[in-house]
């Protein structure tokens, strides 16, 4: 499982946009969005780099860990 902290994550629209960005890279990925913690967990086949790039392109830049 890959986790991302995403500071811009704040609402249901954000959660949908993040989920769609992940699914654009890995359609079968399971995505869990925690709005309170501003965290996204992805369980799938795509690499961390590919997912981070997709999230950034959607406007949800992951925070550096």
Distant-in-sequence contacts of 59-65, Cβ < 8 A, 24+ apart: 59/8, 59/17, 60/6, 60/8, 60/9, 60/14, 60/17, 60/18, 60/21, 61/6, 61/7, 61/8, 62/4, 62/5, 62/6, 63/4, 63/5, 63/6, 63/7, 65/5
Does residue 63 lie within any of the structural domains?
no
Tally of CB atoms within 10 A around 39: 16
Q: Which domain holds residue 52?
A: 2-57
Domain containing residue 35: CATH number: 3.30.70.100
Does residue 33 lie within any of the structural domains?
yes
Does residue 65 lie within any of the structural domains?
no
Does residue 29 lie within any of the structural domains?
yes
Does residue 16 lie within any of the structural domains?
yes
> Global pTM?
0.91
Per-residue pLDDT of the chain (65 residues; tens, 9 = 90+): 999 999 999 999 999 999 999 999 999 999 999 999 999 999 999 999 999 999 999 999 999 66
């Amino acid at each position: 499982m890959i986790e991302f902290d995403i500071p811009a994550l704040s609402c249901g629209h954000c959660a949908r946009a993040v989920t769609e960005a992940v699914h654009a890279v890995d359609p079968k990925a399971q995505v869990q969005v925690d709005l309170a913690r501003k965290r996204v967990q992805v369980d799938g086949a795509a690499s961390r780099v590919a997912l981070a790039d997709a999230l950034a392109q959607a406007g949800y830049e992951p925070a550096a860990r």
